[in-house]
Structure 1
Amino acid sequence: MWRVDLLQAAAVASVAVAIALFLAEGGAARFGDPGSALTSLGIIAGLAATDLVLVMLLLAARVPLIERAVGHDSAMALHTRLGKPVLLLLLAHGVLLLAGYAIADGVGLVAEAVAIWLLPDLPLAVLGFALFLAVVASSLVAVRRRLRYEVWHVIHLLVYVAVLAALPHQFGVGGLFVVGTWQWAYWLAITFGTFAAVVGWRVVAPLVATFRHGLVVERIDPVGDPGDGVVSVTMHGRRLGALRATGGQFFIWRFLAAGQWWQAHPYSLSAAPRADRLRITVRALGDGSASLAGIRPGTRVALEGPYGIFSEASRSRRRLTLVAAGIGVTPIRSLLESATFRPGEATVVLRTQGPAEGWLLDEVRELCHRRGATLITVPGGRGRGWLTPSAERQGLDLLALVPAIADSDLYVCGPRGWAEGVISEARAAGLADEQIHHERFDW
């Protein structure tokens, strides 16, 4: 948790630096009259918005330092939370500048808007704002639920076009960033530094990993009832140990087959990584995952990662409790295989709708037997909380199932509402935030 707080503090500090440089290099003297004051406030709003947009891009760039410090989920959660404040700051930027210029020129808002529109690079800046508005709108929960992942992903790529469209007016209109000033150097450095990180970690690094490791689909194995649409995909490649992946982590996978190559999806490892093999287990929940069953052996695979801190790296206690629901068993199973613990120190709780939904259950049972972990299965429909109605009538909860839970690290993976129920009981049982590790199971 403190790492996330530190990351948020760094974002605030970067905004403070941007505003301080503006004030130090003449901005403080611009508040002498109402028109200039409004203009200055508009500039400050624009500086803050632009700085935070770059922070958002950096959070989504999958920079290893950020990924290892706070995890992919936390980084993307902060990225999402910044969207609305940035949009409001951009609106304030435009409105305050328009009002300030209108007062200074002694004209109405409409006349001033026409005059500003004729300035160089302003149409591009407006285009950038419109694109950013589309990106933020696509992130609203009500909208996101209606979009396929692929469509949502393409819309989000527009944020890079939005930033590039706004750059000319930032360095050109008004002469705010004079060449040779600290402001000019700061903005040039953070802008190109951010785009270098995006290109390096989102484009170059995945290409290098793909060609270096030569990952190829070895086989596709159905899991459980064929009607469930769950398959395990085993891939082999070269020097996979160099990826330094561990159980519980995930990669962004792109299967280079017709109709598939343009789709990239995050899937967790469902078995501990080996020097020459990786495995994922996927349920058909969308077009991309549904088509995996038809992938042929020999298909080449592009990958990004590994990502996530749902792994040994996050542990703070000797004991281990792993709780999963449905297909959320995949990272739990790989973590169970690779985690370090002695017999009696680990407990696995699997929540299923029924015997038919016990995907990878036989593998988990065998691992628990071999490693001395306790396995608890809870089959049946969901009750008011995360357990079944039958379990709730018996007064069972997380503490009753795992008496040593307060002295354990808890790893939870499953649907959001269900996982929140588990985490709520964990906190009630006395677990600190550092002991709770939650793998988000949505996009």
Structure 2
Amino acid sequence: MIDTARPTAHPLAAAPATEPLAVAARRRDRSRRRRSATTDLLGILAWTSAAVAVALWLASPGSHSVVGIGGWLTDAGIVAGLIATDLVLVMLVLAARVPLVDRTFGQDTAIAVHRSLGKPVLYLLLAHGALLTLGYGASAGTGPIAETIALFSTPDMPLAYLGLGLFVAVVVSSLVAVRRRLPYEAWHVIHLLSYAAVLVALPHMLSAGSVLAAGTWQRAYWIALYVLALGLIAVYRFAVPFVVTVRHRIRVVGVEPIAPGVVSIHLAGRDLDRLGARGGQYGVWRFWTATTWWHAHPVSFSAVPRRDRARITVRDLGAGSSRLGRIRPGAFVSLEGPYGLFTSRARTAPYLALVASGIGITPVRALLEDTDLRPGEATVLLRGRDAQQQYLWRETADLAATTGTRLFAMVGHRARSRATWMPEEDLRRGVTLLSVFPRLLESDLYVCGPRAWSDLVVREARLAGVPEHQIHQERFKS
């Protein structure tokens, strides 16, 4: 462990008075309870929406008639389909990045609930298809295979099966174990299929017998939910980014190699400070050149945007990102965002602990630049595999020196003797998060780096007793 920057004014031992710490503790407790309550509330609202859909169907005259085992299976399949479709539309609303949802619940909470609904939706969709096939077959006295063939010959059913297949592809691609193995561009394209899945399923829902009979409250409910979900997606995922792009006229003005496989892309535009970007946030960038226009890149700002300048720093992690190093000045750039809560706004504790590895330095460096700090208030730990992986370290050290922030560097491959985020030498010396950050339990901990590495840092922080609401993690691909 090398201490590369010393406190310039006050040592870390100079703690605030007891009363401010007590006030901060109460604030942290309130923040924790508020986050837990908002997450629970959002989940309850999502499932309440599904319950309303089922209740409207049950209340509609003639919408269901249970006759024998076939009737029970058919009705169970309809209920499963109603709940699944409702939750899919709710997931679209949660992922639409609606400002009201962000201000009320927080985008991180909305996305967490969005992801938590993935598996239930998958199981319900599969149950919907299987139960309806079995139910129709039992009522008609045919087998599942014969019934499946017969269903394909009816109007709208091919679209229904297509919608089911698209839904399953989207949900499966969103599962953590699958998403980790997919390139971002592949996952992004598959995820866009959710819009197509919603659209192709609509004719089937509106024409499936009396399930959504004309003139019923449930038909009005479903049309309103479809309009709401697709309308919010259209506005906040397409129209607003288009307006932002046209308004700010962002273009590439330079590409600066800073290490093998790593470049900083310098951008110019109009009133970029009015983007509202905070240090630690990211945008989804699209570079309009012949070789890059089809690929959207979620990349953090590596410096806080100024009036006419911005910068992102990108590592070559695949075919898409490798092309960015060859972009010529003048290329037009579109932006969706800025997004993310990896900012100083999420702080609830009096001290700040920043840990970054590899290209994870980009949001940490920008967050440090954007945070008003007292001497001794923050400590930064930078980790690199070797000298070539010390991206933006000098800039970060200069920022630390101006604020009296203590900066540590940790260089070396991760130890193989056990699961750890540290090199073998530091492990043998007994280095821990608590030894680097003496006030860790009184700090907001921000961790950014490769997924497996950052998970190990967070695990040690939890074992050390850091409350969950004080841990802020941004995972990058390795």
Per the shorter chain, which TM-score range?
over 0.9
Could you tell me the percent identity over the aligned residues?
A: 52
- Amino acid across the alignment from 1:333: R
Q: Which runs of 5+ in 1 are unaligned?
A: none
- Amino acid across the alignment from 2:283: F
Partner of 2:330: 298
Task: Give the 3 Å change call, closer, same or farther, for CA 175–29 of structure 1 in structure 2.
Answer: closer
Alignment partner of 1:101 out of 120, 136, 152: 136
Partner of 1:424: 459
3-state SS of the aligned residue for 2:349?
coil
Alignment partners' CA distance in 2, 1:68 and 1:341: 25
C-alpha displacement of 1:213: 0.4
Alignment partners' CA distance in 2, 1:108 and 1:283: 55
Alignment partner of 1:278 out of 296, 305, 310: 310
Alignment partners' CA distance in 1, 2:80 and 2:44: 19
Alignment partner of 1:11 out of 46, 49, 55: 46
C-alpha displacement of 1:74: 5.6
C-alpha displacement of 1:108: 4.2
Whether the 8 Å contact between 2:316 and 2:322 is mirrored in structure 1 is yes
Whether the 8 Å contact between 1:131 and 1:162 is mirrored in structure 2 is yes
C-alpha displacement of 1:50: 0.6
3-state SS of the aligned residue for 1:246?
coil
Alignment partner of 2:468 out of 428, 433, 440: 433
- Amino acid across the alignment from 1:170: M
C-alpha displacement of 1:331: 0.1
Partner of 1:116: 151
Task: Give the 3 Å change call, closer, same or farther, for CA 141–313 of structure 1 in structure 2.
Answer: closer
Deviations 1:102-132, CA, capped at 9 Å, x for gaps: 3333444445444433322111101112223
- Amino acid across the alignment from 2:426: A
Question: Where in structure 2 are the equivalents of 1:302-321 lying within 5 Å?
Answer: 302-321=334-353
Alignment partners' CA distance in 2, 1:268 and 1:115: 52
Whether the 8 Å contact between 2:291 and 2:323 is mirrored in structure 1 is no
Task: Give the 3 Å change call, closer, same or farther, for CA 81–35 of structure 1 in structure 2.
Answer: same
C-alpha displacement of 1:156: 2.4
Alignment partner of 2:398 out of 356, 366, 370: 366
Partner of 1:150: 185
3-state SS of the aligned residue for 2:254?
strand
Taking CA–CA contacts closer than 8 Å with sequence separation of 6 or more, which of the two structures ends up with the larger relative contact order? Answer: 2
3-state SS of the aligned residue for 2:353?
strand
Partner of 1:172: 207
C-alpha displacement of 1:295: 1.4
RMSD in angstroms over aligned alpha carbons?
Answer: 2.3
Deviations 1:388-419, CA, capped at 9 Å, x for gaps: 21111111110111110100111100011111
Alignment partners' CA distance in 1, 2:309 and 2:335: 13
- Amino acid across the alignment from 1:118: S
Whether the 8 Å contact between 1:73 and 1:439 is mirrored in structure 2 is no
Partner of 1:239: 271
Task: Give the 3 Å change call, closer, same or farther, for CA 29–80 of structure 1 in structure 2.
Answer: closer
Alignment partner of 1:325 out of 341, 354, 357: 357
Alignment partners' CA distance in 1, 2:137 and 2:251: 63
Whether the 8 Å contact between 1:68 and 1:309 is mirrored in structure 2 is no
C-alpha displacement of 1:302: 0.5
Task: Give the 3 Å change call, closer, same or farther, for CA 265–315 of structure 1 in structure 2.
Answer: same
Alignment partners' CA distance in 1, 2:207 and 2:137: 20
Alignment partners' CA distance in 2, 1:236 and 1:84: 43
Question: Where in structure 2 are the equivalents of 1:190-201 lying within 5 Å?
Answer: 190-201=225-236
Partner of 1:60: 95
Alignment partners' CA distance in 2, 1:177 and 1:155: 29
C-alpha displacement of 1:277: 1.6
3-state SS of the aligned residue for 1:252?
strand
Deviations 1:175-228, CA, capped at 9 Å, x for gaps: 2112232211111111111111111111111110010001111222221x4xx2
Deviations 1:61-105, CA, capped at 9 Å, x for gaps: 232344456665665554444333322212211222222233333
Partner of 2:434: 399
Whether the 8 Å contact between 2:63 and 2:211 is mirrored in structure 1 is no
- Amino acid across the alignment from 1:320: L
Task: Give the 3 Å change call, closer, same or farther, for CA 302–331 of structure 1 in structure 2.
Answer: same
Q: Which runs of 5+ in 2 are unaligned?
A: 1-34
Task: Give the 3 Å change call, closer, same or farther, for CA 218–99 of structure 1 in structure 2.
Answer: same
Alignment partners' CA distance in 2, 1:307 and 1:105: 53
- Amino acid across the alignment from 1:270: S
Which of 247-256 and 78-87 deviates more? 78-87
Q: Aligned residues, how many?
A: 440
Q: Does 1:263 align with 2:302?
A: no
